[in-house]
A and B are shown apart, each in its own frame.
Chain A
Amino acid sequence: MQQHETPSPNQPSRPSPERLEAGALARSRRSAMRRRVRRIRRSVAGVAAALFSAAFLAVYVQLASGHDPALSTKKATTTPTSQASTGSTGKTTEKRAAAKATAANQSGSTTESSGTGSSSSSSSNETATSSSTPSTGSETSTSTSSSGTESSSGSSSSGSKQSSQGTSAVTTSQS
């Protein structure tokens, strides 16, 4: 009977070359996977940082340039009107509307008062609530605006007037 040589328990068996090769292959696959995981982690972190920076910068520039949308209520009504006829250029060419001008042209001086509420009015309301630039001087009258309250102080030496808490609209026209 042929006797087989059995390794003693204290002496480890020598792995076969196939086994060694398989181990090396496994190790290389593991390290490749680790490298891939690291690469993916880095990509995800980089993309997240870039997205956050871009979003932060966009908001920051918007606010820093003085165009806080929360502070501008008028744009919401005027801009779409403008853009509706212009498309993406942001410019408008509007034909002059029929002369339904209701701008309250009054001779004599006026003080304008428009609370912030008036700024959300439509174009036609703007004319209705506006007081036009008077053609002659002195401070004699006030125009009552539908969008705000107005009180005449008359106490100032300059004849200046006190308007409501809101910010008055100012009209620019050719001089």
Chain B
Amino acid sequence: MNHGAEMSGTFACFGSTCSAFVSGSGRAGSAADAVASIRRNLLAWHRSFSRFIPDSELSRLNRDPGEQVLVSPLMARFAQAVVRAGSLTGGLVDATMVEQIEREGYTQDLRDPLPLALALALAPARKRAAAASARNWQLLDVDIAAGTVRRPTDVKLDSGGLAKGLFADVLASSLAGHARFAINCAGDIAVGGADGLTRPIRVESPFDGRILHTFELQRTGVATSGIGRRSWLDADGGPAHHLLDPSTGKPAFTGIVQVTALAPGALMAEIQAKAALLSGPRDAAAWLPHGGVIVLDDGSHEVIEPPSVVTLSQLSAGRHRPHAHALEDA
């Protein structure tokens, strides 16, 4: 079926790069209209969800002295995603660690990351991360209908990767009817389209940028989380990055430097990728029931192919790997 040429656009956003690929017409208008709309939305959401912009909606929410705050519908959904990430991973993925990440020195957009090899050489002994004893995400009370977030005033939210996954999913839902589309929100990707064709999704190495693996995917979410890009030297000269071990509040060095997760949606993929990375090499694969790529400290990588055939037992049980049931139920 010929749906016309694919329109695409690439632009700087979220301190990284976003891109959109659309072909065919749909709810968002022509393919060019859809690309323009995606770009407009992402840039606007960047301004609303950045922790580094003082008057962003997220910054205002984080410093609001009231326990209950009226927020935009998308911010409410983000807060809900924070709760969801925490509950699905038992607190391993915790987007309320703003104080800890700022204490580590991540207080502004980072320009040049620490070379990954150097960071790994300076890093402490590898240890899998664990949930914090204080589970602040459990204190969030989100009312989507009323558009309110209630929380103790010292609980702050960090948009991080969760917001990007959410944005990709939200934009994907607005592209229903278009023949083919892909939205890349700085590594969190939603792929879909009415024509059901597959699209090559390439996973890049954090070490040298080469392509480690290419998946052929349709109607899926993909997210990559890693410690190589947003990294720096802390006040003590130690390597630091933005993925914290909730149990210590310190950057997690688990033996994994990057995880790419495939999932039904980009937000779920983001949650799974982070959980896999924080779980360490032994347990990471269990968080990737839909496939993915795990890159270890030594540069080796493990490809987990998406399940190609669903067995009857999987259909009846609704899962085929540990954690899958809970993740899919969500």
A40-65 with Cβ < 8 A to chain B: 57-58, 61-62, 65
Q: A74-B216, A167-B6, A173-B206 are in contact. Are A158 and B285 (CB under 8 A)?
A: no
Using A119-B214, A160-B35 as known contacts, list a sample of 4 further A-B pairs with CB atoms less than 8 Å apart, ordered by residue number in A: A65-B309, A91-B304, A171-B211, A173-B209
Question: Hey, what's the 0/1 contact readout for B280-311 against A, CB within 8 Å counting as 1?
Answer: 00000100000000000011111111111110
Q: How many residues of A contact B (CB 8 A)?
A: 72
Report whether over half of chain A's contact residues are helix, strand or loop; otherwise say mixed.
loop
Confirm or deny: B205 has a beta carbon within 8 angstroms of a beta carbon on chain A. Answer: yes
Q: A172-B184, A174-B228 are in contact. Are A126 and B35 (CB under 8 A)?
A: no
Shortest CB distance B233–A (Å) = 19
Cβ-closest 3 pairs across A and B: A137-B12, A174-B226, A158-B36
Contact A168 B305 (CB under 8 A): no
Confirm or deny: B197 has a beta carbon within 8 angstroms of a beta carbon on chain A. Answer: yes
Contact B36 A136 (CB under 8 A): no
Chain B residues with CB under 8 Å of A126's CB are 200, 202, 211, 214
Q: A91-B285, A96-B205 are in contact. Are A170 and B186 (CB under 8 A)?
A: no
Contact B210 A103 (CB under 8 A): yes
Confirm or deny: A82 has a beta carbon within 8 angstroms of a beta carbon on chain B. Answer: yes
Contact B303 A168 (CB under 8 A): no
Contact A169 B201 (CB under 8 A): yes
B199-243 with Cβ < 8 A to chain A: 199-216, 218-219, 222-230
Contact A66 B219 (CB under 8 A): yes
Contact A72 B216 (CB under 8 A): yes
Chain B residues with CB under 8 Å of A105's CB are 209
Give the tally of cross-chain contacts (CB within 8 A): 246
Q: A90-B304, A103-B211, A158-B32 are in contact. Are A170 and B184 (CB under 8 A)?
A: yes
Chain A residues with CB under 8 Å of B180's CB are 167
User: Which chain A residue lies CB-closest to B160?
Assistant: A175
Confirm or deny: B5 has a beta carbon within 8 angstroms of a beta carbon on chain A. Answer: yes
Chain A residues with CB under 8 Å of B9's CB are 111, 139, 156, 158-161
Contact B6 A163 (CB under 8 A): yes
Contact B8 A111 (CB under 8 A): yes
Q: A96 vs B223: C-alpha distance in the bound complex, in angstroms?
A: 21
Confirm or deny: B133 has a beta carbon within 8 angstroms of a beta carbon on chain A. Answer: no
Chain B residues with CB under 8 Å of A4's CB are none
Chain A residues with CB under 8 Å of B202's CB are 126, 130, 169-172
Selected A-B contacts with CB under 8 Å, 28 pairs = A61-B312, A62-B308, A65-B310, A71-B218, A72-B216, A79-B305, A82-B213, A91-B285, A91-B304, A103-B204, A109-B17, A123-B211, A126-B200, A133-B16, A133-B19, A133-B184, A137-B17, A160-B31, A160-B32, A161-B7, A162-B5, A162-B7, A163-B21, A168-B21, A170-B184, A172-B203, A172-B223, A173-B206
